[in-house]
Amino acid sequence: MERDTHFILGVYDDEDVLLHAVEKVRGSGVKIHEVYSPYPVHGLEHVLGYKRSKLPIAAFLFGMLGTSLALTMQFYMMKFDWPMIIGGKDYAAFPDFIPVSFEMTVLLAAFGMVGVFLITSNLKPWAQPRIFDLRSTDDKHILAIDLANNSSLELEKIKEILTDSGATEVNKKSFD
Amino acid sequence: MQVTSSVRQPLVTGGKTYHDVTHDVSRQVEGKPTKLWFMAFLTAVGVLALGSTALLATLWEGIGMWGLNKTVGWAWDITNFVWWVGIGHAGTLISAVLLLFRQKWRTSINRAAEAMTIFAVICAAMFPVIHMGRPWLGAYWALPLPNTYGSLWVNFNSPLLWDVFAISTYFSVSLVFWYIGLIPDFATIRDRATGLRKIIYGALSFGWDGAAKTWMRYESVSLILAGLATPLVLSVHTIVSFDFATSVIPGWHTTIFPPYFVAGAIFSGFAMVLTLMIITRKVFKLEDYITLGHIELMNIVIIITGSIVGIAYITEFFIAWYSGVEAEQYAFINRATGPYWWAYWSMMTCNVISPQLFWFKKIRTSIVATFILSLVVNIGMWFERFVIIVTSLHRDYLPSSWAMFYPTWADVGVYLFTFGLFFTLFFLFAKFFPVINMAEVKSVLKSSSEKAHK
């Protein structure tokens, strides 16, 4: 019996109960594998102790890359590769280069950041996610505990902690 | 602890639970298409087919098929382009700007509004592409691609080229923003489905599992995309207005154009969102999610942007007089009293007077009145672009080349084609995609539903 149960799941109906439950469960020394929710619960990342996402930095760096690529391209093409007088302006008409530079900044920042997000979160069309409970994309919050990471604690003890924290159901789940 | 306001109206009515949200929205995707949907869809496809004859004729014969002449070299094509791009702006405004301002009411309309943006931008982009005459060579004219002339590059001093970058960036960033929001909802449909639908929506959902860590990153991505899309949406119509403002044509050469065009874009976009939402909520029975409160709030945005547009019209007129430039003064007097006076006064009536009716609470909370006025606003905004473009061109500097513009069947047909395309895409979206962002509605449900108010 112990062998084939790898995860213990606490099922929660309410986001506020869930937030307190996560604190209680972590406080009693149980390591949480992950919490699965149908919608973003604000503050959940804090009680789970996750570090702030570094995606804004990625967006900034990709944006800088976009600006520099766009400016380099425009100066090279308009000033050095094939200079032409247009409307009596300087070859390097810097103010005219701002719109394209801005658009390229936004384009690269958005695509770069989303690319990093998809890769780090392992989101891709052929991904096979491990779904602990089908209701986690509908109306239930699922708190998953990996037994392998909590070998020091008794199974019954973990179940008791979950029930005490307000879980409406406590289930077992195994993956092949 | 949830704090609920006793003053604010609930955003979701009917005492919905989380499961009800899932059910009410997924039901549309899972059920067989209704007869009404089929009728609407086939009508749209019919218009698309009808319009495509004009499109093919234009591609085959060239743009000589249109009513353009030596004097009026831009007419319906650019009018339609600016009109469609403008409509698109509401979607980004709702999803990005209102996200930054923490306006929770956006959650039930942002998905459909963003879809509208994407389809409207596709329709808009059709026009400059067809106007190239030989669009299959268009990539060389529009993008800085190496070529056998040197390389002879595109002209980065031209606002038309800025438009290429602005519109393509706008389209692709909006598409990404929209799709990121769809991923969790596709996962919801996947987890309810079996068989083929499970495979299709499974692939569309990118293996989303709703882990807290992924949600945290998702929130971060949404916020930054909103931060990027906000200046982007302002830049797009600014750059569209540069197409005119950087020229030296009287009536176009105006510094007021960027803010005036952006306000006009949001104005017409919200009108189109209302037109579509009023139909969608009725057909899909989503009255509890897109409530009268939503309609009223959108009408308030219409009053504000409509008033900005009205002030811009008057300012333009005043500045033309005040500048002392005769050509500029003539351009405006000619707009109001010349051969296109009817277009000018249609624009003034539809855009300046009609939105002021929304000051009456009875009118702005009436669905029928809102629906009619939303159509009126979009007719007015089409006339605005027509007036700016055609009346400024048709009186050339040489009176011997003064001319009028008469649309041909091909002008009308290509415009019809974009209508067909827009509604075909929208109906496909409405049937196969969740029209309301379920995850986001659920996230405001606890604090803003009718239940929370009891």
Sheet holding A141-146, edge to edge: A34-36, A141-146, A7-12, A169-173
Q: What is the DSSP string of B307-337?
A: HHHHHHHHHHHHHHHHH--HHHHHHHHHHHH
Quick check: B225 contacting A, CB < 8 Å? yes
Report chain B's mean pLDDT, rounded to a whole number. Answer: 89
Structure token pair of residue B166:
């602005």
Domain membership flag for residue A165 = no
Contact map slice: B 9-38 vs A, CB within 8 A: 17-19, 22
Domain membership flag for residue A73 = yes
The rounded distance, in Å, linking the Cα atoms of B112 and A72 is 38
Is 80 exceeded by the pLDDT of residue B82? yes
Domain span at residue A109? 55-84+93-120
Task: Determine the residue type at B208.
Answer: W
Quick check: A100 contacting B, CB < 8 Å? yes
CB contact under 8 A, B153 and A53: no
- B39-48 pLDDT, tens digit each: 999 999 999 9
Domain membership flag for residue A32 = no
Q: Which of B155, B217, B229 sits opposite A117 (nearest CB)?
A: B217
Determine the pLDDT at residue A73: 94
Quick check: A23 contacting B, CB < 8 Å? no
The rounded distance, in Å, linking the Cα atoms of B150 and B43 is 49
Using a CB-CB cut-off of 8 Å, the residues of chain B touching A114 are 176, 180, 221, 225
Query: How distant is the Cα of A68 from the closest Cα of chain B, in angstroms?
Result: 16
Is 70 exceeded by the pLDDT of residue B454? no
Quick check: A170 contacting B, CB < 8 Å? no
The chain B residue lying nearest A94, using CA atoms, is B157
Is 80 exceeded by the pLDDT of residue B248? yes
The rounded distance, in Å, linking the Cα atoms of B205 and B253 is 48
Domain membership flag for residue A64 = yes
Q: Best residue in A89, A106, A128, A133 to probe B by mutation, most B CBs within 10 Å?
A: A106
Residue corresponding to tokens 């700016």 = B388
Domain membership flag for residue A139 = no
Quick check: A127 contacting B, CB < 8 Å? yes
Burial classification of residue B155, based on how many CB atoms lie within 10 Å of its CB (0-12 exposed, 13-18 middle, 19 or more buried)? middle
Contact map slice: B 368-427 vs A, CB within 8 A: none
Q: Which of B21, B99, B101 is nearest to B451 (CA)?
A: B21
Angle between helices B292-323 and B257-283 (to 10 degrees): 160
- Half-sphere exposure of residue B52, counting CA atoms within 13 Å on the CB side? 8
* A170 sits in which H/E element: strand A169-173
Cis peptide before A28 (omega within 30 of 0): no
Q: Are A12 and A139 in contact (CB under 8 A)?
A: no
Domain membership flag for residue A47 = no
- B222-241 pLDDT, tens digit each: 999 999 999 999 999 999 99
The rounded distance, in Å, linking the Cα atoms of B437 and B442 is 9
Q: Which of B418, B422, B420, B430 is nearest to B44 (CA)?
A: B420
The rounded distance, in Å, linking the Cα atoms of B176 and B172 is 6
Determine the pLDDT at residue B1: 39
Q: Which of B208, B228, B356, B279 is nearest to B39 (CA)?
A: B279
Quick check: B219 contacting A, CB < 8 Å? yes
CB contact under 8 A, A50 and B188: no
The rounded distance, in Å, linking the Cα atoms of A134 and A145 is 17
pLDDT class of B7 with cuts at 50, 70, 90: low
| Residue range B21-25: mean pLDDT, rounded | 86
Q: Are B144 and B154 in contact (CB under 8 A)?
A: yes
CB contact under 8 A, A56 and B210: no
The rounded distance, in Å, linking the Cα atoms of B299 and B367 is 11
Q: How far is CA B282 from CA A9, B4, B119, B241, in A?
A: 40, 28, 21, 36
Structure token pair of residue A1:
């019996």
Structure token pair of residue B32:
């067989």
Cα four-point dihedral sign B354, B359, B364, B369: negative
Q: Which of A37, A103, A131 sits opposite B215 (nearest CB)?
A: A37
Quick check: A60 contacting B, CB < 8 Å? no
pLDDT class of B449 with cuts at 50, 70, 90: low
Q: Are B418 and B126 in contact (CB under 8 A)?
A: yes
- B145-194 pLDDT, tens digit each: 888 888 889 999 999 999 999 999 999 999 999 999 999 999 999 988 88
Using a CB-CB cut-off of 8 Å, the residues of chain A touching B176 are 110-111, 114
Give the A:B interface size as CB pairs under 8 Å: 195
Determine the pLDDT at residue A87: 83
Determine the pLDDT at residue A1: 43
- B406-422 pLDDT, tens digit each: 999 999 999 999 999 99
Domain membership flag for residue A144 = no
pTM of the model: 0.92
Please report, in angstroms and rounded to a whole number, the separation of the first and last CA atoms in chain B.
16
Is 80 exceeded by the pLDDT of residue B8? no
Quick check: B204 contacting A, CB < 8 Å? yes
The rounded distance, in Å, linking the Cα atoms of B59 and B132 is 10
Cα four-point dihedral sign B271, B273, B275, B277: negative
Q: Bridge-partner residues for B40, per DSSP? A: none
| Residue range B246-271: mean pLDDT, rounded | 90
CB contact under 8 A, A82 and B166: no
Burial classification of residue B141, based on how many CB atoms lie within 10 Å of its CB (0-12 exposed, 13-18 middle, 19 or more buried)? middle
Q: Which residues of chain A have pLDDT under 50?
A: 1-2
**What is the pairing mode between strands A7-12 and A141-146?**
antiparallel
Give me the number of domains chain A comprises. 1
Is 60 exceeded by the pLDDT of residue B57? yes
The chain A residue lying nearest B216, using CA atoms, is A45
Domain membership flag for residue A157 = no
